[in-house]
Amino acid sequence: MRSPSFKENFASVTGEQLFLMLGKFCFGKRGPIGSAEISLSDTDRTDHIFFVESFHNGYDTLTFGILR
């Protein structure tokens, strides 16, 4: 799920791209499974750093990102 603002400003970022980035630092079966800073380019091709963190409850994974 993406916020309306993220959809507008980072329209070229795909779910597949994010999934590949998360796979580089997410490990484990339950609880917090990883966190890192990642770089995403906006619609103007300007890079932005996000702190992202993932949590897995055994069934689903929740990932949130905060713009630095």
Query: What is the separation, in whole angstroms, between the first and last Cα of the chain?
Result: 20
Distance between CA 44 and CA 28 in Å, rounded?
36
Asked if pLDDT for residue 41 goes beyond 90, the answer is: yes
The pTM score is: 0.84
Residue 1: the pLDDT is: 79
pLDDT tier for residue 26 given thresholds of 50, 70 and 90: very high
pLDDT tier for residue 37 given thresholds of 50, 70 and 90: very high
SS3 8: helix
What single-letter DSSP state applies at residue 45? S
- Name the domain count of the chain: 1
Residue 67's CB is within 10 A of a number of other CB atoms, namely: 11
Of all residues in the chain, the percent with pLDDT exceeding 70 is 100
Domain that holds residue 32: 4-67
Mean pLDDT in residue range 18-36: 94
Q: Looking at the chain, how many residues does it have? A: 68
The two beta strands, 47-56 and 31-41, are antiparallel
